[in-house]
Structure 1
Amino acid sequence: MPGINQIKLPIATEIDAFEAKFKASMQSDAPLLNRITHYIVKSKGKQMRPMFVFFAAKLCGGIVESTHRGAALVELLHTATLVHDDVVDNAYERRGFFSINALWKNKIAVLVGDFLLARGLLLSVNNNEFALLKIVSEAVQQMSEGELLQIEKVRRMDISEELYFDVIRQKTASLIASCCACGAASAGADEQTIEKMRLFGEKVGIAFQIKDDTFDFGTDDVGKPLGIDIKEKKVTLPLIYALNSVDKAERKRVINLVKNHQDDPKKIQAIIDFVNSKQGVHYANQKMLEYQQQAFDVLYTFEESEARIGLEQLVRYTTERKK
């Protein structure tokens, strides 16, 4: 399984060019804003979303200037949502870096998120990229609806497996779906092909989130259980499966434990042990592989090419990564 840096080799030049353009898209006359956006660029992750945009474009006709704008639009709007999320969640760290609200406080963080959102809108409008703007705006709407749906249901702990998939399809998969649709649209693909790429991205996004959810019941690099989602009282697929495999009394006991653990390490470990004893992670991994295969089924309707191989490697990376 190649690492993420090896995957991007076929489009390395495009990604390098994109990074420069993305940085330029956040320039402002306000010195404070420039310091913050420079920090955002420095602390960015593995560039997976732009890679999906560029590979999709390459698969569907070729990378053009519109592709770069599509990738920048996705990153601007997604980064805006992350900055706002950290404020809402009182989160002080992201990807090993301090969050914007941790360094510059909530008011500034909210304004920075608003600025990034506005820059994304202007980038689209000023270049008549209305099709790309529609694709990404629909994804942001779905992400917000998915988050609110999760918040509403978590309070009552009544999330079924069907509802779980609805939530992650909106919250996570919609963004990767928009990356693939944007890439195809930027290359001039027809509506049928754009929808095919959107569906491919949705399947990848669901598999990606399931993989993320399994990490909660494993260990970190020093062998210490994680349990981050449990601490936040999120109901994920491994837990849902485990709860559905026991009688009503045991289910109630574990749900009460999730609701009232008060960050007690022993209680959190008891929940992790319960899920693992019921093969919750194994079941989730099987479901993840089902969605991975569904993504491949869509991808393999395209002729084999460098871009298709790159997307296949990206899919494998999302499901085989260690963190």
Structure 2
Amino acid sequence: MRTPAEQAALAADFDDARRSPQVFADFTFPWYTGAILRQPVKQQTKDFIRTTAAAGLSAMGVTALRRWQQARDPRVTILTYHGISARNFERHLQWLTAHYHIVSLAEAVQWVGGNDRDESRRVVLTFDDGYKSFHHDLWPLLRKYGTPATLFAVSHLVGTDQLLWWDLIDVMIARAKMRAVEVQGQRWKCDSGILVAHAKTLPEDDKLRWITELRTALTIDLPRSGGTPFELCTWDELRELGADPLVTIGGHTCTHPILAQVSKHVAQAEITEGRAILQNNLQLPVNFFCYPNGRTTDFTAEHVKLVQDAGFDCAVTTVEDLCAKGSDPYRL
């Protein structure tokens, strides 16, 4: 686990940036690519709100809790993290282990499709993208509390110094220190949240060209992940994680395109090859998939079928919903 000084050093380069919630917002549910709650909280809601507010949770989460609280039949909560500080994650674990039964994604899928009517309040912890901080900072806490989790890795980026595209925008904006920039004839405020949101609306090839032109306009060299909070796990780190019974490695495509913005052929390759690469390098089964971005507009029934055909047992989304008996295991 990194020391506070090491964590501060990693963040120092980005103090002037408007930081993306992908890593720096410690846990908001729901947010546009963030954490999902699908479990009604039937008691101790006020304590939960106080605890989560102290950890930086969004007001939207409080509203959602009130709605989940009204559900009466059993549910499973799937929480999606991207990045979180070790300090805040431990606070979450302390509260969750006191009030919920934290189960693996495999156990949750079995419960959803089975006849077990046990009404225990179950929670699943998932982490998208395969950030190195999971290995260095969060995995020790999972072992400390004996809690399982699933980490979804982007196969082509494992062991590289490349940045995921939204992190690339964050780093470029932080380092350029400009107030505004013109890209493709349009003037943009240098706010990574605004720029990332726009990029998500573009078809994949157009998005990559737009980001390249953004970098040119910012007049900076192509940033690499080294020395940033956005480093991704190496293959050795993933193997180490995969050897722990508490950690399950899942598929998250090869390069993290939004599936609805690429051709069927490309989507199929991203899904199937991403799984094969992980399995070949880890020598482990990869049975769970996570849709990139994961909103209802980001994948279709065709993509669900591709995930099934690739051999995955389930797939998770970022769609705010309640996960109950009979839920579609490929739209959790």
TM-score band w.r.t. shorter chain = under 0.3
Instruction: Report the structure, 1 or 2, having the larger helix content.
Output: 1
TM-score (norm 1): 0.27
After TM superposition, the score normalised by the length of structure 2 is 0.27
Considering fraction of residues, name the structure with more strand.
Answer: 2
